[in-house]
Amino acid sequence: MTLQCTKSAGHWRMVVWDEEGFQGRRHEFTAECPSVLELGFETVRSLKVLSGAWVGFEHAGFQGQQYVLERGDYPGWDAWGGNTAYPAERLTSFRPVACANHRDSRLTIFEQENFLGRKGELNDDYPSLQAMGWDGTEVGSFHVQSGAWVCSQFPGYRGFQYILESDHHSGDYKHFREWGSHAHTFQVQSVRRIQQ
Amino acid sequence: MTLQCTKSAGHWRMVVWDEEGFQGRRHEFTAECPSVLELGFETVRSLKVLSGAWVGFEHAGFQGQQYVLERGDYPGWDAWGGNTAYPAERLTSFRPVACANHRDSRLTIFEQENFLGRKGELNDDYPSLQAMGWDGTEVGSFHVQSGAWVCSQFPGYRGFQYILESDHHSGDYKHFREWGSHAHTFQVQSVRRIQQ
């Protein structure tokens, strides 16, 4: 079994329900949705990713906490929000994520903001940045050369997630203020490629 | 930067505190601890893994929910329990995990219990088993040929974690009852190697 993550394979499909356990009203998507409120949903309460990778957001308009959604079943908010101890129980907007071929993904991490200080080149998944030699618990800035990545506050992909993409911001994330509206520190202890 | 995860490098060190934010009483470990209650701790409330990989348990005697602990800082229970929406706010026992060399880790997953049905051979990290061709959201049984692995209920390493090791149970986990005292379904949607 070989990992595949190619833009050409990018055929995105996701189904959402307004009740837990794939119950209630159902809606299928193949492209971004800036607000489920417009469908008459109060929020998404369960979902299945049928193909492609997606990112879900707490608020409408792709704002608030970010949740990577890869292929599989998510029967309740704990299935996607379960990576943080303070999950927002809301999922209001979402959009596809374009991955590179898994083996070709490249990310540079910098010790300081604005691409300054010591740097590290990543092309694999790192549940602990410290275990592979990164000093400390913070990353100051990121440059995504290729692919789509998710970094997390704590080791083992726990805590707040920040999605980093080569085709957003030109791949440049020079300060935590550019990582997302929910980011308020430089704390990053694990990083991996998003799987499509 | 190259991933390293070898038994010979196995020099385990972890520091625990009885208050959040690395405050209060402090104790350092280089081997297993069957109960922090014996140190006079009510529970562990923050910890740092300085080397090696560990597994933490909710209850004394290595029972209850399991938490993979890789190198890094865990300032509060949300840092290790943040992979499930229903974390026990207790960490009472822990022990070292012996990894194989990262590239040599091998795991076989089976569709049904007792190593029956369709199977898949894994030697990489899979945030979504479905994305790499596994059908459905369940795994019936596991055989660990080499290394230490963590599998999770939901995609992206979320939900309950089950630690699987080649040097426990002879690497055989033939039913969810053998995955841990907290396991009550076959639901497994992501699997990865533990990083040391």
Segment A16-69, tens digit of pLDDT: 999 999 999 999 999 999 999 999 999 999 999 999 999 999 999 999 999 999
- Asked if A70's CB is within 8 angstroms of B154's CB, the reply is no
Contact A133 B1 (CB under 8 A): yes
Percent of chain B with pLDDT over 90: 81
User: For residues A175 and A92, what is the distance between their CA atoms, to the nearest angstrom?
Assistant: 25
Residue A104 has pLDDT above 80, yes or no: yes
What is the C-alpha separation between A105 and A166, in angstroms, rounded?
9
- Averaged pLDDT of chain A: 91
Average confidence (pLDDT) over B61-87: 87
Q: What was the pLDDT predicted at B19?
A: 96
- CATH number corresponding to B106-193: 2.60.20.10
Residue B86 has pLDDT above 70, yes or no: no
B13-96 and B106-193 in the same fold: yes
Least confident of A22-36, A85-99, B130-144: A85-99
Q: Give the lowest-confidence range in A101-110, B8-17, B66-75, B139-148.
A: B8-17
Instruction: Centre a 10 Å sphere on the Cβ of residue A138 and count the other Cβ atoms it contains.
Output: 15
Question: For B52, what's the count of Cα atoms within 13 Å in the CB-facing half-sphere?
Answer: 20
The H or E element containing residue A78 is helix A77-81
- pLDDT band at residue B164, thresholds of 50, 70 and 90? very high
CB contact B91 to A (< 8 Å): no
- Is A116 part of the contact surface with chain B (CB cutoff 8 Å)? no
- Whether the pLDDT of residue A83 is over 80: the answer is no
- What integer pLDDT is reported at residue B40 of this predicted model? 92
Return the CATH number of B13-96, one of 2.40.30.10, 3.20.20.70, 3.40.47.10, 2.60.20.10.
Answer: 2.60.20.10
Mean pLDDT of chain B: 91
Band the pLDDT of B3: cuts 50, 70, 90. Answer: very low
Instruction: Tell me the H-state helices in B44-126.
Output: 77-81
- What is the spatial distance between Cα B18 and Cα A177, in angstroms, rounded to a whole number? 33
Query: What does the angle CA A19 – CA A25 – CA A28 come to, to the nearest 5 degrees?
Result: 110
pTM of the model: 0.91
Q: How far apart are CA B42 and CA B19, in angstroms?
A: 10
Q: Which of residues 6-45 of A touch B (CB under 8 A)?
A: none
| Domain chopping of chain B, boundaries | 13-96, 106-193
